C-alpha cells in the first residue's frame, strides 16, 4: 500500500510542480496565474489537456511543441519530476499526518521561490505572506499557541541575523549584497526549522552557491545571482535530512 501511495504522491506532486512553475514565473511579473491559460512560449498556441500532462507530455511530444515544433525546455519536466519526488519523500518520512501537511506547505513555498527568484530576481511578498499565514495556522492547530509564538520568535531572530549579514555584506562590498526578499524568506525558514537550523541553511546555501558564483564571476564581473534559490535548496535538504540544530536552543536555555 505504501508503494501505491508513494506513486500517488509523486503524481500529485508533479501536477503541483507544473502549477508552481506558473505561479513562480507569473506572480513576480504581476501577471494573473489564471489567464491567459497555458500556451506555447514560441507560437502562443493554446495548449490542450494532452499537452499539459506533467512529465508525460514532454516525452509523448518528443520534447517539441505539437503546433510549431519548437523545442521545449527540459527544465519544465525536470522541475515537475523533482516536485513529485519531494512530495513522495515527504510522505515516506511523515506518513499521512499533520507534520506531512506542514512539510508539504513549506516545500511548496521553497519551490515557488526557486522559480521566481531564479527567473526574475524577485520573491513576491504575496507568496511569502500567504505561506506565512498557512504555516502559522498549521503550526497553531498542531501544537497550540505557545509553540506557535515560539516559532514566530525563531523567525524574527533568523531574519534579524540575515539583516545583520546583509548590512555587513553591503559595508564590505560597498553595494547591495542581498535583496530584501532573502531577509523575509529567512523569517519563514527560521519559523519552520528554528533559528540554529536557519543559520546553518545560510552557510549551506553559501557553500552550494559558491561554484556557480565563481563561474559567473569569471565570465562577467558584477554578475548578480539570486541567493533565494540556494537558500531554498539548503532549507529543503535540512528539512528532509532531519539534521536538527535546535539542541543549541536547549543548551542556551539551560
Residues binding Zn ion (CB under 5 A) = 40, 42-43, 65, 67-68
- In the complex with Zn ion, which residue's Cβ is closer, 43 or 133? 43
CB atoms within 10 A of CB 245: 16
Shorter beta-carbon distance to Zn ion: residue 40 or 216: 40
8 vs 43 by CB, closer to Zn ion = 43
**Distance from C-alpha of 61 to C-alpha of 64, rounded to nearest angstrom:** 6
Which grid cell sits at 94?
Answer: 511523515
Query: Closest Cα partner for 93 from 113, 80, 107?
Result: 107
Which residue number, 29 or 71, has a Cβ lying nearer to Zn ion? Answer: 71
Rounded to a whole number of angstroms, the minimum distance from the CB of residue 77 to Zn ion is 16
Supply the minimum distance, in Å, between the C-beta of residue 61 and Zn ion: 10
> How far apart are alpha carbons 168 and 177 in whole angstroms?
9
Least distance from C-beta 42 to Zn ion, angstroms? 4
Rounded to a whole number of angstroms, the minimum distance from the CB of residue 25 to Zn ion is: 17
Q: Do residues 18 and 80 touch, judged by C-beta distance below 8 A?
A: yes
Q: Closest CB to Zn ion among 68 and 215? A: 68
Place of cell 509523448: 60
Per DSSP, the residues of 121-178 read S---HHHHHHHHHHHHHHHHHHH-HHHHHHHHHHHHHHHHHHHHHHHHHHHHHTS--S
CA nearest 109: which of 23, 195, 180, 238? 23
Closer residue to Zn ion, CB minimum distance, 52 or 137: 52
Q: In angstroms, what is the minimal distance from the CB of 1 to Zn ion?
A: 41
Q: 3-class DSSP state for residue 34?
A: coil
Tell me how far apart the alpha carbons of residues 148 and 136 are, in angstroms, rounded to a whole number. Answer: 7
What minimum distance in Å lies between the beta carbon of 64 and Zn ion?
8
Amino acid at each position: 500500500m505504501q508503494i501505491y501511495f508513494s506513486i500517488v504522491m509523486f503524481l500529485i506532486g508533479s501536477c503541483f510542480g507544473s502549477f508552481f512553475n506558473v505561479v513562480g514565473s507569473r506572480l513576480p511579473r504581476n501577471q494573473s496565474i489564471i489567464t491567459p491559460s497555458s500556451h506555447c512560449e514560441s507560437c502562443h498556441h493554446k495548449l490542450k489537456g494532452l499537452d499539459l500532462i506533467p512529465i508525460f507530455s514532454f516525452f509523448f511530444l518528443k520534447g517539441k511543441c505539437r503546433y510549431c515544433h519548437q523545442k521545449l525546455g527540459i527544465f519544465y519536466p525536470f522541475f515537475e519530476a523533482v516536485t513529485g519526488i519531494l512530495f513522495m519523500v515527504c510522505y515516506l518520512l511523515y506518513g499521512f499526518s499533520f507534520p506531512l501537511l506542514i512539510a508539504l506547505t513549506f516545500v511548496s513555498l521553497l519551490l515557488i521561490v526557486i522559480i521566481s527568484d531564479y527567473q526574475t530576481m524577485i520573491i513576491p511578498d504575496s507568496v511569502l505572506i500567504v505561506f506565512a499565514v498557512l504555516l502559522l495556522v498549521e503550526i497553531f492547530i498542531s501544537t497550540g499557541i505557545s509553540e506557535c509564538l515560539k516559532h514566530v520568535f525563531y523567525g524574527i531572530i533568523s531574519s534579524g541575523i540575515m539583516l545583520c549579514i546583509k548590512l555587513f555584506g553591503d559595508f564590505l562590498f560597498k553595494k547591495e549584497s542581498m535583496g530584501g526578499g532573502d531577509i523575509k524568506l529567512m523569517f519563514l525558514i527560521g519559523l519552520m526549522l528554528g533559528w540554529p537550523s536557519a543559520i546553518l541553511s545560510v552557510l549551506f546555501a553559501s557553500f552550494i552557491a559558491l561554484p556557480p558564483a565563481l563561474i559567473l564571476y569569471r565570465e562577467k564581473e558584477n554578475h548578480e545571482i539570486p541567493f533565494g534559490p540556494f537558500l531554498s535548496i539548503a532549507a529543503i535538504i535540512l528539512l528532509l535530512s532531519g539534521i536538527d540544530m535546535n539542541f543549541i536552543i536547549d543548551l542556551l536555555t539551560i
